[in-house]
Each structure stands twice: as C-alpha cells, then as structure tokens.
Amino acid sequence: MLLPAAVAEGVRIGTITLAFRRWEQPRVKAGGTQLTSAGIVRFDRVSEVGDLNSLTDGDAAAAGYPDADALRRQLAPKRTASRSPRAGKGGEHVYRISLSWVGEDPRVQLRAQVPDADDLARLRAAVARLDAGRRAGPWTSPILEWIRDNPGVISTELAALLGREVAPMKADIRRLKALGLTESLRVGYRLSPRGVAYLESLV
C-alpha cells in the first residue's frame, strides 16, 4: 500500500486519519507500519466497508476528499464496455484503514551522522554485502562517486552516465539510502554527510 506524499504529509500533521482501498483481501495489517516521504505511518485498524452508501462526509474529510460522493466515485467499481460491473482498482472489496503518524524517518538522522571508527567498520561490512550480492562485481562505489560528482542530476541522465537502466539504478540508490549514504533531492540525489565520510574513508 503506497501513500502519496500529500496523504503521508496529511497523516503527519493530523489532517488525514483514514485511507480507503479496493483489494481482494487486506494488504496491510493492523499494527503494521510503513516508511513514507513524511515519516513512519502506522496502520491502526483495517476493516471492510460493506456498503459504500455508509460512507459519510466525515469519512471523506478524514481521507482527504471533499465529500462522501467524491470518495464513493473513487471507490466505485469500474464498468466494462458492456457496462457490466467489475472489480475496481485492486479487487472487489473496499477496506477502511485507520492511519496515524509514528515519527520521523530514522534515515534522516542517520544521514547526518558522521561515522566513527566502529561505525565505519560496520558500514563497510554492510556495503561489502551489497557488492557481494552482485554477479557483475562491486557496484556501490561507482554510484556513490557519480552522485558525489554529479549532485542533482536527473535520474535518467545519471543512468545514462553510468550506462545503467533507470529502474535498477534507482533500486540500488535506495539500498544505499537505507544505509544513510545518499539523500533524494527534488531532482536527482546527493551524498549525505555520512556518505561523504564513507567515501573519504576508502581513499
């Protein structure tokens, strides 16, 4: 379940507390959490909506819609060319998910931490595991070096510079981001202070 940035931000500031999805079965569990662009969001409760007509304007407002009619239109089953109803996006059942904000993205604080000797050793070991998992050989340093030398470069251009396909390259950058080494900009990426320190330690 992906939460758009505007919805995640609404959860963070408390203006959005509900989400509705069409699924064949629930894809999240009560008590589970998700890391979003606005921090960590928790799924407090998941329940099936038996009748779309039971949705209220209050439900709609809590999910970021202007009124219940707008929410019902979004959740209404689609129709085929023969006008026979079929499942909407994701499935035939509508679920109500209660949301709450847990806290900031822990990677934000991690990126600002300049590692000490022990932390650097652990970081090198983690990066080495990423390199070891690639048959083509080590890949982490080339990406980090390109980001260092080309901050804010759009991902398609960065992929061309590296001779990579965009989607796999982005997946690799997310792996490095999880270690606190990179951070996303409005366009492209840059090294975090932690990433700069890590690269400098390799010299």
What's the pLDDT tens digit per position in 106-150? 777 788 888 899 999 999 999 999 999 888 889 999 999 999 999
The span from the CA of 65 to the CA of 45, in Å, is 20
pLDDT at 163: 87
173 has pLDDT over 60: yes
Residues of the chain with CATH 2.30.130.30: 5-104
Question: Residues near 112 by Cβ (< 8 Å), separated by ≥ 6?
Answer: 192, 193, 194
The span from the CA of 45 to the CA of 23, in Å, is 15
5-104 carries CATH number 2.30.130.30? yes
161 has pLDDT over 90: no
With contact defined as beta carbons under 8 Å apart, do 144 and 182 qualify?
yes
Q: What is the largest CA-CA distance in the chain?
A: 67
Task: Compute the Cα dihedral for 55, 60, 61, 67 and give only its sign.
Answer: negative
Residues of the chain with CATH 1.10.10.10: 107-201
85 has pLDDT over 50: no
Out of 62-66, 74-78, 183-187, the most confident range is 62-66
The span from the CA of 47 to the CA of 49, in Å, is 7
pLDDT category, 80, cuts 50, 70, 90?
very low
Fold classification of 107-201 is Arc Repressor Mutant, subunit A (1.10.10)
Describe the chain by its helix, strand, coil percentages, rounded to 5. Answer: 45, 20, 35
The span from the CA of 3 to the CA of 74, in Å, is 15
